[in-house]
Amino acid sequence: MGAFIIRRLLSTLLVMGLVGVFIFLLLHLSPGDPAAIIAGDNATPAQIEAIRTSLGLNDPLHVQFGRWAMRVLSGDLGISIFSNVPVATLIAQRVWPTLSLAFTTIVLAVTLALAAGVLAAWKAGSLADRLVMILSVVGFSVPVFVVGYLLIYVFAISLRWLPVQGYSPLAEGFWPWASHLILPSTALGLAYVALIARITRTAMLDVLAEDYMRTARAKGVATGPMLFKHALKSAGVPIVTVVGIGIALLIGGVVITETVFNLPGIGRLVVDAISKRDYPIIQGVILLFSGVYVIINLLVDLSYTLLDPRIRY
Amino acid sequence: MTRRATTSRRSFLKTGLAASAAVAAPGRLTAQSAPGATKTIRAVMHGDLTVLDPIWTTANMSAYHGAMLYDTLFGIDANLDTKPQMVSKWGASDDKKTWTFELRDGLKFSDGSAVTSDDVIASLRRWAARDGAGQHMMQRVADIAKKDDKTFQFVLKEPYGYLVDALGKTSTPLCYIMRKKEAETNPMEKITAYVGSGPFLFNEAETRQGVRYVYDRNPNYLPRSEPASGLAGGKVAKVDRVIFENMADSQTALAALQAGEIDFYETPPIDLIGQLEGDSNLTLEVLNKTGNIGWLRMNFLHPPFNNVDARRAMLYLLDQEDFMKATFGNPKFYKKCPSNFGCGVPMENDANTGWFKEAPSQAKAKEYLQKSGYKGEPIVLMQATNIDFMRNAADLVAGALRSIGANVQVASSDWGGVVNRRAVKAPPEQGGWNLFITWADGNAVSNPIALAGHAATGEKAWFGWPSDGKNEELRDKWAVAGSLQEKQQIARELQENAWNFVPHVWLGQWVAPTARRKNLTGMLAVPGVVPFWNAQKA
Amino acid sequence: MTVAAAELARVPPRSGLWHFVRRNPTLVGGLVVLALIALAALIAPLIAGDPIAAKPVNRLRPPSQINWLGTDQLGRDVWARTVYGARISLLVGLSVATIAMSIGLLIGLLAGFSRTVESVVMRLMDGLMAIPAILLAIAFVSLSKASVSIVVAAIALPEIPRVVRLVRSVVLTVREQPFIEAAVASGTRLPKILRRHILPATVPPLIVQATYVAASAILIEAALSFLGAGTPPEVPTWGNMIASSRVYLGLAPWTIFGPGIALALVVLAVNLVGDGLRDRLDPRIARRM
């Protein structure tokens, strides 16, 4: 098991390296760069070239990559070309809204989805089952920003129950923090409810059909605790897999939700950076997100050993 | 020479510590240190403040930022007249070649140091290095000399009537006065310290790039005694804090305004004005009465628009009404304008506007296009997809050109992509372009010198690179002209010539009302800048 | 009753279309909706007007006799744009699915058969999968110029690693089967083994995966347009129609309902088809039905 973890960590480092190369190549092989944007409206071509050189953009690619890689390995993610603020500082300033959003979305989505999936599996084949599945797929089919606008219109403008936009740090009170996150989490979470509910249902159906479940029922064990304790634990592996995938997808969905609800998170940071071609921010954030994804995958794999004793590394 | 921090263990520790410190104390200061709600204005402006050096860039947001922190030698008032601001008295010699200026008493930078001629002269040089009007002026300047700490002189090679107006113009970049230290930064690089002598202080600690920019009242600012008017008069800050919130989504900003989460929204989508008109807590007001003018730039370097007939074809082809209606809907807020210097301004005139009476005329446009020898080569039209006016306008231009049989290739990208590509002088099929769309401030357009786009100096001109010797002769004449009547006469001649060689095509003029909560009063109306002194919340 | 008798007493499944429909409602429902929309897209010129002609003077007209779904902010007919938009949106979904599946299949097969290829390729795929798909897509589109093919490539690229993993795991499973060993021992050549045994095993899960990829591609195209990194606005797609009209949600909701409902319907239909196919093709679930 220890050897497994070490092997996986080494593999993680390799993967991160690959990610770094991918992103670097994508940015630097594309036409255009930040020089013209930085130079401003009245710049001459000579001025734009001068800026390009001062940013090191005219150096050969491998030199530029080596420079950036060395920096990253010593912990320096570089400085934003536009704002002169270190990328690490920018990320640190904006990580809480993204984390908060991700957390509340997962809590919301997983709760709803597990409940829906278990219900659907328990009443397999009935109208309730069909309805739950269709409704959850509908949630998966409408773009997040449309759902977001509708929610804002209904709950924030018409009913005035919740704020329209913005983020309130937890330090300034639990309810302000939570109330700013309810609508975004709902908009974002709807898609994942579908995904997780369906997998839950399938996994639960498999488990419910197993012999040992029928035996338990025959022995007269009460249905409630039986359902949740035995079934959920066995179905844990596929469910956790999907939650892991869901978290990866979340990183993508966060980008749109942060724009619609004006949350000052990392998703917006990187989208703004892309439109300005602020390379250090783009590279730094994508590296960060990839790292998070890879580590979560590792944790998901490790959690299998807890949920299913048959799985050993 | 790169501007990066050096790599080392130290920088890792620094960034690591800085990161953990920022992470440990997320968000804002506690309630005790922030001013109360009635003393804070939360404003959403038209874009994000990406560059904090208002001399280095022509971006309007940077000009707004500059107006908070810095002061100017002169400023225009609500009637667009240039009035002294940092200057107490000034005068010219009899031969009009030596101008002497004296600074007001009590002007101080936020670090406590007094504003002296050294600071002013350094600032002027840096500004002139970046600004078109400044460059035009400096060609006629022999020297800017210091007489004493409060007095400085412009020594000119020949009389230049535009001097004082240039110092007070609101077309970007404005001539903000900085400390000598910052002003001596290489004009090709950006300043890194933000110390000004203006009515507000920049609160760097609470500012979050891309999220919010915080300004606190400068308790040591000494305003003039006259009432505030435009950028002239006494700049009295009546609130303790102003926050520029960056909200990319207009729906969200509008909803926030309606819910009272923000106080001021600079650019509500005009189609949604109706929704705001019904809300009794909100007021609409046009602060920039000369508005903006839609601008189609053509590439003079490559066919077909290197031929004047092809450019003339565009004058006859496009209907300004379409462009305005498509994005702004309500005719109350826009009008068609044939004047090369915009409408509703002193330089407006009707010279050589016969084409305007006929446009749109597909027949005439087709005729001119054929006359130019156009054989059906692809016309590369750049389209910025993330800015409504530009996106709609490009669709309309493409449709209009196709209706007269032209072959149009629309190159869509975000605005950053357009900015990158418009700087390319290569032929369109090798990464260049033929047409792109933007807009300009109405007041800036009204000035043949202040607007870089009015220069027709060929390859040294603004993107599009128009070339016409007569245009340049007349511009020089305009700059040295003394009286308003003289200037207006020369403007007529400029326009007569302009609509002959067609440097660009206007797409219509519009004003954009700002929206604010009723309890926010005292917003000053001036083009080019949205000042926040004089504003207060009840 | 004995088990055998019970077996005999079971009513054998009847053949015929009606019974197929009864047993696979989701699959059929999805297919019908998709077929209708695809048909509409094909005969677009017959049932809709000009989607591109802009007449600002007619802007934001509510649905009427002339404009079934009203007009948008440039005066273009929303019904025409929705119908023509089906072409691009369906094309995007189909292309992304096809490209991702084909490239993924190829790489997955190679990885399944060659250890060296596998170690290199799987690391590359891991790296690619680690980058958030939408960020990769935005960067790809923003840094090139916007066109339908670029958008398709940008959406397909992040989907490839998952397909590769799927194919590889199928190949690995099938390779272990005794009849493969037997085939190899009796001298059957590789291409025949591939054709006879490997490929047929990969096809069912690939098809199911393809449907989900197609559905998500259509949604991602909408998201990219929302963020300003989508298909060129000239060409109507449901994504960029919704994105450019979003300001009018309250003022002129028809500009969003047309493409919005069409989008939701197609994505729903494709997902239902995927579900139906998976239920049919997965032996465990099929048995239960």
Give how far C187 is from chain A: nearest CA, Å.
Answer: 36
Q: Which of residues 277-296 of A touch B (CB under 8 A)?
A: 277
Chain C's closest residue to B269, CA to CA, is: C247
Contact check, Cβ <8 Å, A274/C229 = yes
Q: Which residues of A touch C162 (CB under 8 A)?
A: none
Q: Which residues of C touch B248 (CB under 8 A)?
A: none
Contact check, Cβ <8 Å, B385/C146 = yes
C77: which strand partners? C71
Q: How far apart are CA C287 and CA C289, in angstroms?
A: 5
Q: Please indicate if any CB of chain B lies within 8 Å of the CB of A70.
A: yes
**C200 and C165 in contact (C-beta within 8 Å)?**
no
Nearest by CB to residue B271, choosing from C146, C229, C248, is: C248
User: pLDDT by residue for chain B (538 residues), tens digit each?
Assistant: 333 333 333 333 333 333 333 333 333 333 335 777 779 999 999 988 888 999 988 888 999 999 999 999 999 999 889 999 999 999 999 888 999 999 999 999 999 999 999 999 999 999 998 888 888 889 899 999 999 999 999 999 988 888 899 999 998 899 999 999 999 998 878 898 999 999 999 999 999 888 899 999 999 999 999 999 999 999 999 999 999 999 878 878 888 898 889 999 999 988 888 878 888 999 999 999 889 999 999 999 999 999 999 999 999 999 999 999 999 988 999 999 999 999 999 999 999 999 999 989 999 999 999 999 999 999 999 998 888 899 999 999 999 999 999 999 999 888 888 888 898 899 998 889 999 999 999 998 999 988 888 999 998 888 999 999 999 999 999 988 878 899 999 999 999 999 999 999 999 999 999 999 999 999 999 988 999 999 999 8
Return all residues near B272 (Cβ < 8 A) that are at least 6 apart.
B250, B254, C247, C250, C251
pLDDT exceeds cutoff 60 at C285: no
Q: Please indicate if any CB of chain A lies within 8 Å of the CB of B214.
A: no
Amino acid at A150: L
Contact check, Cβ <8 Å, A264/B211 = yes
Which two three-digit tokens encode residue B56? Answer: 């280095």
Q: Please indicate if any CB of chain A lies within 8 Å of the CB of B269.
A: no
Q: Which residues of B touch A99 (CB under 8 A)?
A: none
- How far out from the chain centre does Cα A266 lie? 11
pTM: 0.82
**Segments in C75-145 forming alpha helices (H):** 78-113, 115-130, 133-143
Q: Which residues of B touch A259 (CB under 8 A)?
A: 248-249
Q: How far apart are CA C175 and CA C170, in angstroms?
A: 8
Q: Which residues of C touch B412 (CB under 8 A)?
A: 145-147, 232-234
Give how far A133 is from chain B: nearest CA, Å.
Answer: 32
Return all residues near C32 (Cβ < 8 A) that are at least 6 apart.
none
The residue with tokens 């990866």 is: A248
Interface probe for A, chosen from C118, C134, C284 (most Cβ of A below 10 Å), is: C134
β-pairing, B504-510 vs B514-517, is unpaired
Query: What percent of the residues of chain B are helix, what percent strand, and what percent coil, each to the nearest 5?
Result: 35, 20, 45
Nearest by CB to residue A76, choosing from B15, B188, B252, is: B15
Q: Which residues of A touch B189 (CB under 8 A)?
A: 54
**Segments in B175-289 forming alpha helices (H):** 180-183, 250-258, 273-277
